[in-house]
Amino acid sequence: MKIIKRSRTEVTFDIAKIMAAVAKANQEVVHNERLSEEQIQMISQNVENICQEMHRSLSVEEIQDLVENQIMNLRAFAVARKYITYRYKRALVRKSNSTDEQILSLLECNNEEVKQENSNKNPTVNSVQRDYMAGEVSKDITRRLLLPSDIVDAHEQGLIHFHDADYFAQHMHNCCLVNLEDMLQNGTVISETMIEKPHSFSTACNIATQAIAQIASSQYGGQSISLAHLAPFVQISREKFVKQVKEEFEKTGIEASEEKIREVAELRVRDEIKRGVQMIQYQVITLMTTNGQAPFVTVFMYIDEVPEGQTREDLALVAEEVLRQRIQGVKNEQGVYITPAFPKLIYVLEEDNIREGSKYWELTKLAAACTAKRMVPDYISEKKMKELKDGSCFPCMGCRSFLTVYKDENGNPKFYGRFNQGVVTLNLVDVACSSAKDMDKFWQILDERLELCKRALMCRHYRLKGTPSDVAPILWQNGALARLKKGETIDKLLYGGYSTISLGYAGLCECTRYMKGVSHTDPNGTEFALKLMHYLTDTCHRWAAETNIDFSLYGTPLESTTFKFSKCLQKRFGKIPGVTDKNYITNSYHVHVTENIDAFEKLKFESQFQELSPGGAISYVEVPDMQNNIPAVISVMQYIYDNIMYAELNTKSDYCQVCGYTGQIQIITDDDGKLIWECPQCKNRDQDKMNVARRTCGYIGTQFWNQGRTQEIKERVLHL
């Protein structure tokens, strides 16, 4: 059994240290108030038993809380006071410089929490360590100086989660839709170098990857680009190749018809598309931004986004090449093709591609094969999205954050060049448990927590307000998000719906189970869950009216936070069956991962909640290996088109570097009760010698996860 020290390193549990600490406090009280040696032994043994029952590594602070409780249970109040006083004095000493131990443990690569904090960051790499070190300083400044103490306390207790506190000290926003069209068509500036409109498709792709890297270093969330902004440059390359081929034939004395010239030029166009797409795929994967990871970028494939004609046909050619290259995958260090995490792909299902016989049906079949092999693309239904987004269809920012509909001065919808200011998430499970099943008290506590969230979100807003465009020229001055002047603030982009700010929520499933005694899939639970969702959405609308800031309800993609919330809930309320007895809580409105439900039923059920989560949401179905059952994948895709706006299929795509096994690496429990990954063929347990890719929460993770998320992955049931 392991524990996590204050430095965040993981060590073996030692009962002798508990006995020594209690004995020390015991010696400081008068003789007739002391505990006996047997009682000290019993306290220590009880704490050890509780730790083993938790099935995870507890922190030192959690264990000390357990010790306090055990001493109090024996009514040894004098001893308890001495123990608590000692803890308090030691805490004061540590607070004099609270970040040193964490930073040192980062540098020595033994910070267990950081190892599992982000499934796409390798904490042994210098650039990642540098980012985490800066993050520790930022979090320290944020806690002590920048945020009100009650918001900090609520965050640390798990009542809310103030996302990305490690970047809050800087004036940075969350995620965005890149206006790549503006940057390419009107030129941009990258690292103080003028970049003019490109004269070929491959050059446009190269500029796009350079912009992606710069943008990723200027914000902390995901970004999305559209292939529709690259497609017009295919025709520019085509015209150039026609001219080149004609000149080459004339110089070599070869007589050729105009048709033959265009045929040869088209071969070169296809080759250029292949090279351009390859450039995007490999540069995105191999780029290392200033936060120590590949850019979190989503590529949007929407055929009807461009007018019918040559540009649309070229867009289809580019999308086809993107899918073919993703099916192939990328090579790992051993030269074996594996599944990369990025770029994330989104394919829009529309009338022109969803049924057999439709114009782009073959492209949809290719997308299905890609999903079966590599877990992407994810799917947006044009039909459902237009129903929910005022007739518009557009990408999310990163993995799931959606903008509200905004119209420019000419009354035309505008999405590219917009962004999200930040997220604060409400722990719905804590609201429920705090109410002790009293429904009136539930709504009262909910209002109090929502007001806390609003103040926390306004802290995010005010941190951005007054930010000069000079802090990130590529974003604010050179077209990625705006064309502001030097020295001009970004303030006008924070109001009137141009950008959004997100109220996140988590644990609707467990919240409903606690309050109603049933899952939210049960009709008795569904009514309550929908009422709660309506209330949250209405609250965001009210806040927006009060502030002229577009507050939007967002289904939070918990990663490490799912474990944090779970630990906080268990500390406050113990283990409540079906509510707090897991080391994770359920993302947003999702059906619990252990609940047996058919894929189509799950998508239909969750669609009603997705509609009430306009700031962001994604649904998924867990499926087995589907590479030999593409028709079933297509059936799910067609169901998505008719029933839900945004969804994905989760399959498995792993590789063992020791024995060459491909398939599903398993999760088992080791002798210390810790969840670890093991190859089912050769029993390899070395995470550095396996490639595991799993959908974490809207995007693919490849660097492994904390114990809470790992348990959630292990317990997922198949829906198909």
- 715 catalytic residue (yes or no): no
Least confident among 164-168, 307-311, 428-432: 164-168
- Ranges of beta strands (E only) in 364-519 are 378-381, 419-427, 500-506
CA atoms within 13 A on the CB side of 55: 16
- SS3 of 669, please? strand
Give the active site residue among 172, 175, 393, 656: 175
SS3 state of residue 295 = coil
DSSP 8-state class, residue 470: G
Which of 117, 559, 606, 712 is catalytic? The answer is 559
List pLDDT tens digits, range 349-359: 999 999 999 99
Cβ count within 10 A of residue 351 = 13
Helix axes 439-464, 523-547, angle to 10 degrees: 40
661 is catalytic: no
655 is catalytic: no
User: How many C-alpha atoms does 271 have within 13 Å on its Cβ side?
Assistant: 7
* Cβ neighbours around 233 below 10 Å, total: 27
Query: What does the pLDDT look like over 530-561, one tens digit per residue?
Result: 999 999 999 999 999 999 999 999 999 887 88
Is the pLDDT at 489 greater than 70, yes or no? yes
pLDDT digits (tens, 9 = 90+) for 400-434: 999 999 999 899 999 999 999 999 999 999 999 99
CA 386, 392, 396, 402 dihedral sign is: negative
Q: Which residues of 657-666 are buried (b: 16+ CB within 10 A; e: fewer)?
A: beeebeebbe
Instruction: Indicate the pLDDT class of residue 283, thresholds 50, 70 and 90.
Output: confident
- Long-range contacts (CB closer than 8 Å, 24 or more residues apart) made by 240-246: 240/199, 240/200, 241/265, 241/266, 241/268, 241/269, 241/272, 244/268
Q: Which whole number is the average pLDDT over 683-699?
A: 87
174 is catalytic: yes
Q: Which of 183, 301, 393, 397 is catalytic?
A: 397
Helix, strand, coil percentages for the chain (3-state, nearest 5):
50, 15, 35
Whether 88 has a pLDDT exceeding 50, the answer reads yes
Sorting pLDDT into bands at 50, 70 and 90, what band is 119?
very low
Q: pLDDT value at position 91?
A: 66
698: annotated active-site residue: yes
Which residue of the set 226, 420, 583, 588 is catalytic?
Answer: 420
Which pairs with CB-CB distance under 8 Å and at least 24 residues apart come from 695-698? 695/375, 695/620, 695/648, 695/650, 696/119, 696/557, 696/559, 697/399, 697/557, 697/558, 697/559, 697/587, 698/398, 698/399, 698/400, 698/557, 698/618, 698/648
Confidence of residue 7 (pLDDT cuts 50, 70, 90): low
State the catalytic residue, choosing from 698, 706, 708, 712. Answer: 698
Q: Is 186 a catalytic residue?
A: no
Catalytic-residue membership of 708: no
The reply to whether 420 belongs to the active site is: yes
One-letter amino acid for residue 128 of the chain: V
Other CB atoms within 10 Å distance of the CB of residue 31? 6
The active-site residue out of 401, 588, 684, 706 is 401
Query: Does residue 335 have an active-site annotation?
Result: no
Closest to 586 in 3D by CA, of 571, 601, 606: 606
Mean pLDDT for the stretch of residues 27-43: 90
pLDDT at 109: 55
Alpha-carbon dihedral 675, 681, 684, 690, rounded to 10 degrees: -90
Catalytic-labelled residue, pool 183, 370, 399, 626: 399
Domain range annotation of the chain: 2-167
C-alpha dihedral, 602 to 663 to 344 to 125, nearest 10°: 130
> Which tens digit of pLDDT belongs to each residue from 603-638?
999 999 999 999 999 999 999 989 999 999 999 999
Listed in sequence order, the residues at least 6 apart from 321 whose beta carbon sits closer than 8 Å to its beta carbon are 273, 274, 277
Q: Which helix (H) or strand (E) holds 535?
A: helix 523-547
Cα 457 versus chain centre, distance:
19
Average pLDDT over residues 293-307: 91
Among 57, 105, 118, 174, the one annotated catalytic: 174
